[in-house]
Amino acid sequence: MDCCAVVVAAGSGKRMGADMAKQYLLLDGIPILAYTLIRLSRIPQIDGIVLVVPQDDCSLCKTDIIDAFGVRKIIDIVPGGRRRQDSVFNGLRALQKVQPSYVLIHDGVRPFFSDELCLDIIEETRRHGAVIPGLPVVCTIKECNGNHEVLRTIPRDALWEIQTPQGFCYKSLYAAYETVVEKDIDVTDDSMVMEFIGGKVKIIEGNKENIKITRPVDLPVAHQIMTGGVFAL
């Protein structure tokens, strides 16, 4: 396969404060995770998808998400780990049987990426080997100590707020993850894994609508984005 995606949806969603994990909350009657998977599966350049979910949810996601909504291109559904990085590595290991040239890592609760962004990420990954989308930071950023006292104001000219999907050469990312796992290094996103081994990562401009739905305040924003019709299924 040329390009596959790992969709990470193994979190508990505690910040959402709901009775269920955030990836199963409904948008216009469709679970957020299903919405993300359907849109991702419609990208012609994506050949297959590995879904990473909480261990107890693998069967549930097969019946209530994949089968119920007719999601195509699913290669495997695998259990997540203790940390996001552990979940991603589980997904990468599941791709060993198909050995894609390139891989996209995407958050299951980011349903509003544009098709154009995905295609740009794939194309730029072919050129650079590691590409991530982001938006230039527009707010003033402060660094504080443990007592919430300001230490300094950080110049924002070179700061970006990073999104997913993030694109990589599969073999390079897998090898980088093996190193991070061996050394038990904590990372907050997949490009940081490449940074750890000295790899270069290119940033391209993302979409302002490409929000990560993690808190209650994000849900009305998500519904407002949906009413625009651009991301309708």
Query: Can you list the pairs that 174-179 forms with residues at least 24 positions away whose Cβ atoms lie under 8 Å?
Result: 174/92, 174/96, 177/85, 177/88, 177/89, 177/92
User: Tens digits of per-residue pLDDT, 14-27?
Assistant: 555 566 788 999 99
Q: What is the pLDDT of residues 133-161, one digit of tens each?
A: 999 999 999 999 999 999 999 999 999 99
Q: Is residue 233 part of a domain?
A: no
Asked if 167 and 124 count as a contact pair (C-beta separation under 8 A), the reply is yes
pLDDT tens profile 90-117:
999 999 999 999 999 999 999 999 999 9
Tokens, residue 159: 């700061």
Q: Which amino acid is at 105?
A: I
Q: Give the chain's domain count.
A: 1
The answer to the question of residue 151 being in a domain is: yes
**Is residue 22, in this structure, part of any structural domain at all?**
yes
The domain in which residue 221 lies consists of 3-227
- For residue 17, what pLDDT is reported? 56
In a domain, 152, yes or no: yes
Domain contains 232:
no
* pLDDT-based confidence at residue 187 (cuts at 50, 70, 90): very high
8 A C-beta contact, residue 32 and residue 111: yes
**What is the number of other CB atoms lying within 10 angstroms of the CB of residue 35?**
24
* DSSP-derived 3-state class of residue 179: helix
CB 137 within 8 A of CB 161: yes
Q: Which tokens go with 178?
A: 């093996």
Q: How far is CA 7 from CA 42, 47, 70, in A?
A: 14, 13, 17
Residue 185, pLDDT > 60, answer yes
- CATH number for position 201: 3.90.550.10
**pTM assigned to the model:** 0.94
Q: What is the pLDDT of residue 14?
A: 58
Inside any domain, residue 112 = yes
